[in-house]
Structure 1
Amino acid sequence: MKVFQSLQFKLIIGIVAVLVPLVAYHLYTNFYAIHVVREKVASSNNDLVDLFMQSKVDQVLEDTNKYLLTRAAGDPDVLSLNLYSESDGEYQMRKARIINRLRDDLVLYSTINTFFVYSRGGQDLTVTDGNYKDFGELADWLDKSSVNDNAGWTVLHNGRGYGLFTAVHASPDVMLGAWIDVKSLLVPFRQLNLGGGGEAMVLGANGEPLSSSSLTDAGLDDLRPQLDLLDDSYVILDQPEGKKLAVGTKSELSDIRIVVLVPERSLLQRLTFFLRAAWIIPIFAVLVLGLYILLLRRVLFMPLSDLMRGMRRIIQGDLNFRLAEDKTSELSFLSSTYNHMADQIKQLRIGIYEQELRVKQAELKHLQVQINPHFYLNSLHIIYSLATLKLYGNVQKMALYLADYFKFTIRTNRSHVTLNEEMKHIRNYLEIQKLRYPDMLEFEIDIPAPWGEAFIPALSIQPFVENAIVHGMRMEGESFFVRMVAEALPDDPERFVVVIADNGEGFPAEQLSKLASGSYMEEADGSHIGIWNVIHRLRLYFGDKAAAHFTNGDPQGAIVRLTLPFNLGTDGGGNEHV
């Protein structure tokens, strides 16, 4: 039986067909909810980043530009600074007043790290806060810039790190400017609730990091091609500590971009139940499916399997297998019905078997009766021949042998005799034949123990001896010799062989072929009733355990080998004597 055609397979497939869509729908709704939450949180954070960029960064940059332009255009010290050389005391005094006013105004711009004044003629850079030696790169840039290079905020790396600066020309040789460390730009973003592990970072125009970050090089490589997506959407980055959601926006007044990284676990911390349920429910469904299959197996599949096994046992002929009573009412009815059916079949089979035995016994009796008249007719022919030859002494011996023979025949109304008893009967028969053919017949009987005690159907061997004399004995030439011997069967200790061999004409080739093929049994007629009768009775009595094999001897003669079971059972009939 194919697996996919079984009831068990169909029931399990049916259950799976119901559970899988439900679990899939549950997973879809959970992950869809997670996706919606991620979208909303990302959109909210993106809006906050835009707001902070506009109000906290770009507004400061714009206000600083306005302040520097106003100061450069309205401060007389700035406008006249280029009129003096750096070694002049007036230059130093004017520069000191400019720096003091810038330092006083610095408190109004908390994001600005320092203001500076640069005199290109003497390459003199003065800062309001910090060590001017840290701004060597800034001085080089200012020295090489032209009047048109002060159009906005520029990213520059100095001795301490990256920063933004802008400079306005008060005159071709004097510039006022401001410097902002990029780390200062991130201070407002700390007010955002980014959760544990969240952070903000500054990226340059090409996506290069301008501030420190926990983002790996691989994460940066994944982020750079998707920077444009951050203006309207978000990007998910895989990091060793977990997934991070990246949102950000670009400054309108500079080439920097603020990117905020929020751990996904903090975004979904309020969806803990849904996250757990997304995995617990499928596992629970698998457990329920397994328990349900175990329950079905115990309640339905095992009883059905026992019922099928019992039916197979009945088909194989075993009627003793019974099903245990089941607690389920439907299956209990099936098991009780099966047991009742098996009992009825067993009783019916016993009755049929007993009827077959009676038929076989009747057939054996009928076949055995067929043997006796056959020999009687032959015996009468012998007596007639002896009387014709006036051998009255032989007639007397013949009468004695016939008396013993008739005693055996009367006694063998029972179904079987021992091999020794059968051989004694054959000896009487051969002595009768020797009286008929003096000096022309010799015989030898060799039945060693324990084969002589084996039981066989009565008159099972005598017809073969009789057939040998009738068809194999020649009236001229050497004496006709018949030998009967019992031998062990080497490969089967439970059976033995009785050999009847002679030195006569042997079997004709056509007859031998029929005997070997078994067709002789189908074509048996009255002239060959002896052989047919014996073979048929042996099959009825012993079944497949008995066999007859016919061959011709070398150089002449016929050989019959009867394979018989070594049966030491009771005789099965009466023990009456005459």
Structure 2
Amino acid sequence: MRRIRPYLNSLRFKFIAAVLVIFVPLATMLVVNNLYSVEVVRSQVAQSNKNMLSLYMGQIDRNLVEVDKYMFPTLEGNLNVLDLEFPKSRDSDRYQIAKISMFNTLKDNMGYYPILESFFVYSALNQELIVAQNNQGSFEEREQSRQEILRMLEQEMETNDYSNWHVWKGEQNYYLFHLLKSGNVYMGAWINSSQLMVPLNLIDLGESGAALITTDKSEPISHVDLVNDKELSLNFPKQSYTLTGQGNDTYLVMGEPSTQGNFNLVALVPESTILQNLPYLQRISSIITLAGVFFLLLFIFLMRHMFLKPIKRIVMAMRRLRDGNWESRIEQKPASTEFEIVNETFNRMMEEIVHLKINVYEEKLNHQRAELRHLQLQINPHFFLNSLNIIYNLATVKDFALIQEMTKCLVSYFRFMFRSNSYLIPLRDELNHTANYLRIQQLRFPDIFQYRIDRPEAFLDQEVPPLIVQTMVENTIKYAVNMDKLIYISVEVGKEESAKGPSRLLLHIKDTGPGFPDEVLEWLAQEREGAASENGEQIGIWNARRRLRLLYQDRATIEFYNEPGQGAVVRIGIPMQE
């Protein structure tokens, strides 16, 4: 919420909100009115076409009922059907007479049912088909229809559903049939789907609209190319309509299922044809809506160019200034006179602030340099006096080899301490100085401790503050070395990868002594700089922390802890220069 509140209180948000409060209700009202008008026209067109489909489907169903009324009594009451149930070998003449009589009966009644293509009777026991067809079509077409009936019988004779009309998909066409059974005799009616489509083709559904018959699985019987090309879905609700298609090829789909068979009548009406019948007022409202949106965008563009962008440049410059970028300036771009005055004044003020800040910064930097130099030059006088005393004692016993080595080590030690006023030195020099210091301590305390210093070649050129390692080693010798137990001191160098910033150089100073006491670890964890100066204890640690903070701020760390069964560990992390 704290992040959102400044944005909600910004001038940009208030300006956009005020514009939207004025224009959005008006545009919404126009859009809703337009959509409502479109929906009304769609509903009227859909209802009109659905009524037409219902009327025609009712006519088809009545014709199918009339056909069923003829077939049921014929199949059950015609004596010729009884003769067709027996094998023709039983009485061949009687069988042939029944066959001819049955054909004539069906042929004579074909004229009462113009919707039909044929009646047929099939004797399953004798495997003979009697077909009475109308005279329409060529001989090849009638023969093809006869073959389709035979294929249908092979597949449908064993079915238990003889109550409804069904769709049969032939090799070149779709057919509608109703099959009845009495004993070993089957009787049926056969309708070519093209016969049903003749009245539907007279319905005006637009240039690309169509009326078609579908199966109960919404598979088109006609206009298959149209349905596939437009990727139309033929599923329809019972009481209303649905929209199908993509882009500009959107169609209204409404349908009517048959009560006598598993097929539907479906009407496809292009939406573009419907919208042509919209009143001119609806078109005008659409134009007004588009014009309102255009002027709204134009108004926002002008206000953004003349008002919001200059303010945004000022705010961005102030944000950069808040983040510490004192070089931030406002770009001088064409703007209103008032904004030009504000920009020029801001830039001039920033120039004066930068000059003042540079002077203050240089004074602070000089003070930090003096403090850092003072910290580097702090020398333990006891170490210096003890080293001279060791040389004196070695001279007394005339151990000239050790005197030479001790003198050489002291010369190297003090040369390192005084040779440079640099704030950073290569890790190679720091490790060599630490090794020199440890050797001096070994000469002071022979057979008391051993040491090892890692010198990975990949890290020797990295720069570190001088005496940062030697100070921690000196502290280890002061508190960990005793006369009762041999102590092992090691200096290890490694690297720590970081995904958020530069990698860090890791320096571990370890010993095998008793480790840090709990009260010392508690004190070290608090990182109190001033506490060391009260009694002079831990002055080396305080010195190291102070120098790291002056050089790296909070990017360098010193950690103190004990390793179980090992001893004390000092872990120093310093940012690496890639």
Tell me the TM-score normalised to structure 2 length: 0.48
Query: Which entry has the higher C-alpha Rg, 1 or 2?
Result: 1
Q: TM-score, normalization: structure 1?
A: 0.48
